[in-house]
Amino acid sequence: MRYVKNSIIDRKVPFLDLRIIDDKLRQDILTAIEKVLLHGPVVLGPEVYELEKRVADYCSRKYAVGVGSGTDALFLGLKALGIGPGDEVITTPLSWIATANAIVLTGATPVFADISDDLNIDPDSIEELITERTKAILPVHFTGKICRMDEIMKIADQYGLMVIEDAAQAFGALYHGRRAGSFGVIACFSMNPMKIFGACGDAGMILTDDENIYNKLKALRHNGMVDRTKCIEISLNGRMDTLQAVILLEKLNYLDDIIYKRRERANWYREMLYDVVILPEEKKDEFDIYYTYTIKTTFRDELMHFLNVHGIETQIQHKCLIPLQPAYRTCAKGSFENAKGLVKQILSIPVNETLSKDDIYYVAGCIRKFFSK
Ligand SMILES: *Cc1c(COP(=O)(O)O)cnc(C)c1O
């Protein structure tokens, strides 16, 4: 094997690396944290509002509301739109469980559409699921690739449905010149540490252009309180920490570089692996950020084991479709045959920006070696 230079035994390629190893970024963060510790307001301090403004600008939206997590963002976002018992929300069966949990927690019913080979919701499977109870479509930009939003927006327009983007995995991605988070009536982000634009703890954000929704969201993240005395709706405490906000403000300065590096690693994989497994594909006018680099093969489990033996950590995101989870036995509807097949083939391989070209070549070399047997 040309690409496997180092000894197999001691080489390790981790899937994730949550350390902040860039000395300058770490110093910038420490300085910013010290500022917060000295000025006091550690919850919803001025830096949260500064971050909201910068994120709204970045995604070309009018308003942003910082919340405690991506799950908060989805749950409070759905509540702000008045979605609740009796309503149906069409979404994807392949996502992090939080997407559907947020729907169920409002009292609404998730209806699961099918997915396409790009692992995102298949717009062609949505229409047949629409009933008089359907209120919204909740697409997830899975793996950091934006869904086919022109088709989804068209269906939503035609049937008078709201669109809520779960853009948790796609901060910075583009589709036909537009950013993730710029399509839906609201869009939800997670900034948990695993996300590419991640804090050092849980954080999330909701974007909208609608002033009424914006005002409602500000109350909803604060137990439904509009001021110190008046509660307009029963809700929870989902405010963003100022400490996470300052970390994110510093990280935002590095984000373009991080995305550039992930795309560079994706390109190296493409060059090395195009003829052995099914790779993620970028169409014209798409700009994916590779939250995960997810390949497809019918030898998935064997390949995963082989890579593990060679020190390469991989993940299956996710092994079980949401509607097939035990907790969803009684509350899931829909039809998703293609998803059932695809979920057996997916494998996410390391694409972290901290990995070297040598690391990526080692991973690719091991995959080639597996398929040459
Ligand atoms: C991470 C994630 C969430 C939830 O975000 P948290 O901040 O962990 O609550 C929701 N949806 C998707 C698609 C995610 O990847």
| 165 SS3 class | strand
Contact 198, 191 (CB under 8 A): yes
pLDDT at residue 5 in the model: 53
Strands 162-166 and 186-190: parallel
The ligand 1 atom at the shortest distance from the C-alpha of residue 95 is: 13
Ligand 1 centroid distance, CA of 72 (Å): 9
Residue having the nearest C-alpha atom to atom 5 of ligand 1: 70
The ligand 1 atom at the shortest distance from the C-alpha of residue 190 is: 7
Both tokens of 171, joined, read 């901060």
| Among candidate residues 303, 311, 306, 309, the one with its CA nearest the CA of residue 10 | 311
Residue 32's alpha-carbon distances to 119, 168, 256, in angstroms, are 38, 25, 20
Ligand 1 centroid distance, CA of 102 (Å): 10
Claim: this prediction has a pTM higher than 0.85:
yes
pLDDT at residue 2 in the model: 46
Ligand 1 centroid distance, CA of 97 (Å): 8
pLDDT at residue 28 in the model: 95
Distance CA 279, CA 284 (A): 16
Distance CA 14, CA 185 (A): 38
Q: At what angle do helices 300-309 and 357-372 cross, to 10 degrees?
A: 130
Choosing from 104, 140, 146, 169 the residue with most ligand 1 atoms within 8 A of its CB, the one to mutate for a pocket test is 169
Residue 215's alpha-carbon distances to 77, 81, 132, 218, 226, in angstroms, are 12, 12, 29, 5, 9
pLDDT at residue 301 in the model: 98
The amino acid at residue 322 is I
pLDDT at residue 119 in the model: 98
Quick: pLDDT tens for 115-162: 999 999 999 999 999 999 999 999 999 999 999 999 999 999 999 999
pLDDT at residue 8 in the model: 52
Q: How many CA atoms lie within 13 A of 27 on its CB side?
A: 3
Choosing from 96, 200, 221 the residue with most ligand 1 atoms within 8 A of its CB, the one to mutate for a pocket test is 96
Ligand 1 centroid distance, CA of 286 (Å): 22
Ligand 1 surroundings by CB, under 6 angstroms = 69-71, 95-96, 98-99, 140, 166, 168-169, 190, 192, 202, 204
pLDDT at residue 1 in the model: 46
- The residue whose two tokens read 């398929």 is 371
Ligand 1 centroid distance, CA of 316 (Å): 16
Low-confidence ranges of the chain (pLDDT < 70): 1-9
Contact 295, 119 (CB under 8 A): no
pLDDT at residue 43 in the model: 87
Ligand 1 centroid distance, CA of 175 (Å): 20
- Where is 185: in which H helix or E strand? none
Tell me, what DSSP letter sits at residue 226?
S
Quick: pLDDT tens for 209-240: 999 999 999 999 999 999 999 999 999 999 99
Distance CA 87, CA 339 (A): 24
Ligand 1 centroid distance, CA of 112 (Å): 18
| Among candidate residues 287, 285, 269, the one with its CA nearest the CA of residue 347 | 269
Choosing from 99, 140, 294 the residue with most ligand 1 atoms within 8 A of its CB, the one to mutate for a pocket test is 99
